[in-house]
Amino acid sequence: MSVTHVPGFPRIGAHRELKFALEAHWRGELDAAGLHAVGRDLRRAQWQAQRDAGLDRVTVGDFAWYDHVLQTLAWLGALPTRFENRDAGLAGLFACARGSAAQPAMELTKWFDTNYHYLVPELTPELDFPGSAAELLGWVGEAQALGHAVKPVLLGPVTLLYLAKVRRGAGRSLDWLPRLLPAYRRILAALAAAGVDWVQLDEPALVLDLDPEWHAACRDVYAALAGVGPRRLLATYFGGVAAQRELLAALPVDGLHLDLVRDPAQLDAFVADWPASRVLSAGVIDGRNVWRADLAALLERLAPLHARLGERLWLSASCSLLHVPVDLAAETRLAPALRDGLAFAVQKLGELRTLARGLDEGASAVAAELAAARAGRAGLATLADARSPAVARRVAALDAAAAERRAPYAERRALQQAALGLPPLPTTTIGSFPQTGALRAARAAFKRHALGHLDYLERMRAEIREVIARQEALGLDVLVHGEPERNDMVEYFGEQLRGVATTAAGWVQSYGSRCVKPPLIHGDVQRPEPITVGWSAYAQSLSARPVKGMLTGPVTLWKWSFCREDLDAATVMAQLALALRDEVADLERAGIRIVQIDEPAFREGLPLAAAARAAWLDAAVRAFRIAAAGAAPTTQIHTHMCYSEFGDILPAIAALDADVITIETARSDMELLDAFRAFDYPNGIGPGVYDIHSPRVPTVAAMRRLLERAAAAIPPERLWVNPDCGLKTRGWPEVEAALANLVAAARAVRQAL
């Protein structure tokens, strides 16, 4: 019998039950007992889904109140020492995740190359690891009481330390290993005592190009964990580990999980002399994308492996299903041919079951399922928007000139200066202004046809009038329309492009209680009509100051969507770029003189595998340039990136040739700017001086100090003044106070120039 399992399952709930319960709890409307009850129901439902699909084991420990890295720290007793309340109860967890009265929140960073954000572990000299994962053991007990065979999952010690930041005092993260390992041993022993026979230890860091000391640490760690607790399945994902074959073969573990979607070829490195005692978990169902698998092809590939390994072959998803929506059942409005080509988390469980039956009983036993999978996949090509000869011709006709602005930056700068007449250190914002409940309600009412088109238009225009008036009163130099019409910067464009579909409830957790609904790119991308021009032109009609047009860039649209797996990334990005290029042209015609093309996902799109980076960067830079390069030299192109480390990709950032880039720097005290200076970054920069993740209003003096730091790194004639990111999550009173201070700080520094 083939064994089936998943590395993890979405925890947010099919209807975002966890989100709503968390937010109610934070507002004080749901007590801890109520929140615990919601969590218990969600765990029960996710285990039942796995059981219903016939999986051999349900995964326990993939549930988290806020984040699984934070959860692991809590179980180890290793919440950051700067927090007063470190008892791992809900209050302690949420203080770390969201900040307390005395302490700012833990740092939030992207989980490998995903749009999921984890909380960064903090290593301080006094940190120890007294925990024994009582909560995890409780969940194991819950699942066992429901009659499930369980496989708990824990983030592995190597990856945990790799992701951690050492605070205060030099030291290296690896120095904490001797203190950390006893805690893991204790937890593993407790799991075994609870009757657990397998545990999954996640070590995704092993797919990265690690320094040898990390490989040595890996050897030490798994040697130290040998002989305690349940059998260990070492899980790798988001890339291949063939280069680490020797290391992995020598580790005393009982099984290895491979991501065979990201790196199918790595299988060869492992099967040849796979030890007779070990399990191989084949991650063949894509945990990062939503398209139905070609089950017949997979069965053919797996059959010889199954013949060789028998029960030691486990069938699995490539990685945790955390990164895909829960269930297709809610998608009643998608075109049938599109819906039939999709598999969300619940459907992927079914795919695993089909594969297992196909291996155990022969392909003929699942002939109907295999045929349905093939037909579903083939149906995607029959969608009306699947292919557009006109788009294909346009992409093929792109030449070098299409990605080249008509004048070099120095010339453009002079022309733009003459055209725009901005003061030195111009002030601006990143695009969105507070999204009030009333705004969201108006958009929702319009969507369900409860608000007519003209009423909706007037409602949004009223908001734009308000936003423009407030910006003028504040004395900002470059205005924005505020994005009241956008639910989300990616989904909004997804709704208006052909070849792209949006879902009703395809929610994926981004961090904590926040979820996004990635669009589905299923065909050639086209822009049937202008998307943003009406809103921007209206905003510009209200003011003599320049209003920035606001677009989401081609790289971010691609990265934050689920793109059909057979569509080449470079081609899709070029198609998106052409759609945006047309939008830029229409904005110009409507009198817009500055256009911002947001690329917050630029860094995240960079492949983890070093070998794949250069080609991807070329394609990404080219796409951005195609989107921007149609603009007249007098039109100023901005871009914006946040949550990013730039050091290693600054040449690519410079190659975008945006006239101005705004970045997030307020929290890190302008640290990022040092890299820009060292690189001699040639164009305009707006380093954020206002941390928009916090409700705190920064003082004039604080922003002035940041600006003076920035002015020391960047020539003042290329320096802009702005917040870190958009203001949509903030409230009006704090925003107005902070922006008033921002303008005052800019004026003070200007005067001193």
Annotated binding site for L-methionine: 430-432, 483, 598
Task: Please report which helix (H) or strand (E) contains residue 636, including its range.
Answer: strand 636-641
Q: How many CB atoms lie within 10 A of CB 713?
A: 18
- Which residue, 49 or 642, is less far from Zn ion as judged by CB? 642
728 contacts which partner out of Zn ion, ligand GLN, none, CB within 5 to 8 A by kind? ligand GLN
Contact positions toward Zn ion, by CB under 5 A? 600, 642, 725
- Which residue, 234 or 738, is less far from Zn ion as judged by CB? 738
**Dihedral angle at the C-alpha atoms of 205, 284, 340, 390, nearest 10 degrees?**
70
- Report the distance separating Cα 697 and Cα 288, nearest Å: 38
In angstroms, what is the minimal distance from the CB of 433 to Zn ion? 14
Binding-site positions for Zn(2+) read 640, 642, 664, 725
- Which residue, 494 or 600, is less far from ligand GLN as judged by CB? 600
Give the one residue of 312, 412, 622, 640 binding ligand GLN; rule: CB under 6 A: 640
Tell whether residue 431 is a contact of ligand GLN (CB under 6 A): yes
In angstroms, what is the minimal distance from the CB of 602 to Zn ion? 11
As given in the structure block, the two tokens for residue 739 are 């922006």
Whether 157 contacts 204, CB under 8 Å: no
As given in the structure block, the two tokens for residue 627 are 């989107």
- Report the distance separating Cα 377 and Cα 289, nearest Å: 14
523 contacts which partner out of Zn ion, ligand GLN, none, CB within 5 to 8 A by kind? none
Binding-site positions for L-homocysteine read 430-432, 483, 598
In angstroms, what is the minimal distance from the CB of 644 to Zn ion? 9
520-526 and 498-501 as β-strands: parallel, antiparallel, unpaired?
Answer: antiparallel
The SS3 call for residue 542 is: coil
Rg (CA), the chain: 26
Chain Cα centroid distance, residue 43: 23
432 contacts which partner out of Zn ion, ligand GLN, none, CB within 5 to 8 A by kind? ligand GLN
Binding-site positions for 5-methyltetrahydropteroyltri-L-glutamate read 16-19, 110, 115, 514-515, 560, 604
Whether 518 contacts 506, CB under 8 Å: yes
Q: What is the DSSP string of 226-254?
A: TTSSSEEEEE--SS--GGGHHHHHHS--S
- Report the distance separating Cα 572 and Cα 119, nearest Å: 32
Residues between 535 and 554 that touch ligand GLN (CB under 6 A): 550
Give the range of 6-14, 23-31, 40-48, 721-729 binding ligand GLN by CB under 6 A.
721-729
Tell whether residue 489 is a contact of ligand GLN (CB under 6 A): yes
Give the range of 411-419, 437-445, 682-690, 723-731 binding ligand GLN by CB under 6 A.
723-731
106 contacts which partner out of ligand GLN, Zn ion, none, CB within 5 to 8 A by kind? none
Give the one residue of 207, 258, 430, 743 binding ligand GLN; rule: CB under 6 A: 430
- Which residue, 484 or 600, is less far from Zn ion as judged by CB? 600
The SS3 call for residue 205 is: helix
- Which residue, 642 or 727, is less far from Zn ion as judged by CB? 642
Beta pairing partners, 279: 255
Tell whether residue 642 is a contact of ligand GLN (CB under 6 A): yes
Give the range of 119-127, 148-156, 400-408, 430-438 binding ligand GLN by CB under 6 A.
430-438
Tell whether residue 598 is a contact of ligand GLN (CB under 6 A): yes
Cβ neighbours of residue 49 under 8 Å, at least 6 residues apart?
9, 345, 346, 349
- Which residue, 75 or 433, is less far from ligand GLN as judged by CB? 433
- Report the distance separating Cα 242 and Cα 258, nearest Å: 10
Q: Which residue is nearest to ligand GLN (CB)?
A: 726
Give the range of 108-116, 228-236, 424-432, 535-543 binding ligand GLN by CB under 6 A.
424-432
3-4 and 313-317 as β-strands: parallel, antiparallel, unpaired?
Answer: parallel
The SS3 call for residue 532 is: coil
Binding mask 548-587 for ligand GLN (x = CB under 6 A): --x-------------------------------------
Binding-site positions read 16-19, 110, 115, 430-432, 483, 514-515, 560, 598, 604, 640, 642, 664, 725
- Report the distance separating Cα 655 and Cα 486, nearest Å: 29
Tell whether residue 725 is a contact of ligand GLN (CB under 6 A): yes
- Which residue, 210 or 685, is less far from ligand GLN as judged by CB? 685
Q: Which of 148, 257, 481, 693 is catalytic?
A: 693
- Which residue, 95 or 725, is less far from Zn ion as judged by CB? 725
- Report the distance separating Cα 470 and Cα 59, nearest Å: 51
In angstroms, what is the minimal distance from the CB of 600 to ligand GLN? 4
550 contacts which partner out of Zn ion, ligand GLN, none, CB within 5 to 8 A by kind? ligand GLN
Q: HSE of 663 in the Cβ direction (CA atoms, 13 Å)?
A: 26
Q: What is the DSSP string of 462-524?
A: HHHHHHHHHHHHHT-SSB--B-TT-S-TTHHHHTTSEEEE--SS--EEEETTEEE---EEEEE
Active site annotation includes 148: no
Tell whether residue 117 is a contact of ligand GLN (CB under 6 A): no
- Report the distance separating Cα 729 and Cα 485, nearest Å: 15
- Which residue, 197 or 734, is less far from ligand GLN as judged by CB? 734
127 contacts which partner out of ligand GLN, Zn ion, none, CB within 5 to 8 A by kind? none
Residues between 210 and 249 that touch ligand GLN (CB under 6 A): none
Tell whether residue 728 is a contact of ligand GLN (CB under 6 A): yes
Residues binding ligand GLN: what is the number (CB under 6 A)? 13
Tell whether residue 726 is a contact of ligand GLN (CB under 6 A): yes
- Report the distance separating Cα 38 and Cα 44, nearest Å: 10
- Which residue, 406 or 440, is less far from ligand GLN as judged by CB? 440
Nearest to 348 by CA among 315, 304, 300: 315
- Report the distance separating Cα 304 and Cα 308, nearest Å: 6
Q: What is the DSSP string of 140-190?
A: HHHHHHTT--EEEEEE-HHHHHHH-EE-SS---GGGGHHHHHHHHHHHHHH
Tell whether residue 488 is a contact of ligand GLN (CB under 6 A): no
Beta pairing partners, 122: 165
Q: Which residues are catalytic?
A: 693
Please give the residue ranges that form the binding site for ligand GLN (CB under 6 A): 430-432, 483, 489, 550, 598, 600, 640, 642, 725-726, 728
